[in-house]
Amino acid sequence: MRRRWIVLAIVAVVSAILKLGVCDCGWPHAQALPSSLWMVVDMWGWLCHGLTISGLAMAGTIATAIIILVQADLLRQQNQQAAEIASRQNQLHALVELQKEWNSERMLKLRSAWAANEGDIERLEPILEFLEDFARFRSDKFLTDEAVWDTTLGWHAALYYFYNRKNANIKNLRTKWKDDTFFEKLTDLWTAYVQEEKKRGRIREESDLEEVLLQTKKDFMKAERELLWEPQLLKS
C-alpha cells in the first residue's frame, strides 16, 4: 500500500512538471511529445488527484470518528463518575436515616426491653422488622456490602439475627405468622456476614464465628440493656 502511494505521488509530480514545462516554461521539446503520452499523463494526474482527495476524505472521516469516540468515552466516564458519586451520596443519606431510626428513643426502648427479657418476642418483632428492611436494602443492591459492613448497623443486624435464631425467637415468630420466609433477607445478610469474616481472615468456618459470638453474648446483651439509663424510659 505504501509503495502504491509513493508511485502515485511520483506520477503526480512528473505530470505537474510536464504540464509546467509545456505551459509555463516553453519547454522546446514539448510539442514533440505524442498525444498518447499526454493522455496517459493526464489520466495518471487525474487518478492521482482523485485518490489523493479520497485519501484525504477518508483520513478526515477517520479523524472525525476518532474524535467522536474519544468524546463519547470521556462522556461515558464522566457519567459513570457522576453516577458513582450520586450512588455514594444516596447510600450515605440512607445510612444516616437508618442510623437515626436505629438510635431513636422508640427503638432504644425496644432494644433495652428485649435485652432485659430475651424471650419477649413482642418487643423483638419490630426490631427484627426494621433490621429486615435494612437487609433488604443490601439484597436490592441499594446498599453495597462495603457500606453495610462499614457501619455498626450491619454488625447489629447480624448479631440480632444469630442470637434470636439460636434461642428460637425467629422460629417462634415464623410460626406465629405461619410464614417460613419471615426475615429471609436477614438470613441472607447473616450468610454474607460469615463470608465477610472469612475474607478478612478472622474465621475459617461459620462455627468459629458462632463460638465467638456466644462467648461475647453476655457483654452484648448488657450493652443493649444499658442503652437507656433513665428508669422511666425503661418502664414506659
Q: Band of the pLDDT at 19, cuts 50, 70, 90?
A: very low
Nearest to 124 by CA among 141, 103, 109: 109
Per domain, the residue ranges of the chain are 2-83, 103-235
User: Which pLDDT does position 36 carry in this prediction?
Assistant: 54
Rounded CA separation 173/205 (Å): 28
Percent of the chain with pLDDT over 70: 69
Residues 6 or more apart in contact with residue 4 via CB below 8 angstroms: none
CA 46/CA 197 separation, integer angstroms: 76
Q: What is the mean pLDDT of residues 146-169?
A: 96
Higher pLDDT, 169 or 21: 169
**80: pLDDT confidence band, cut at 50, 70 and 90?**
confident
Residue closest to 144 by CA, chosen among 106, 107, 108, 196: 196
- Where is mean pLDDT largest: 30-44, 75-89, 152-166? 152-166
- Find the farthest-apart pair of alpha carbons in the chain and give their distance in angstroms, rounded: 123
> Does the structure show a pLDDT above 60 at 30?
no
- Residue 111 CA to residue 118 CA, distance in Å, equals 10
Question: What is the tens place of the pLDDT at every residue in 87-129?
Answer: 778 888 989 999 999 999 999 999 999 999 999 999 999 999 9
Residues 173, 121: contact at Cβ < 8 Å? yes
45 vs 120: CA distance, rounded Å = 98
Separation of CA 109 from chain center: 38
Give the residue with greater pLDDT, 202 vs 67.
202
| Among the listed residues 112, 182, 196, the one whose alpha carbon sits nearest the alpha carbon of residue 154 | 196
Residue 59 confidence (pLDDT): 58
CA 185 – CA 182 distance, rounded (Å): 8
What does the pLDDT look like over 180-195, one tens digit per residue? 999 999 999 999 999 9
Residue 42 is predicted with a pLDDT of: 58
pLDDT at 27: 45
How many Å apart are CA 145 and CA 84, to the nearest integer?
15
Selection from 104, 95, 224, 236 nearest residue 164 by Cα: 224
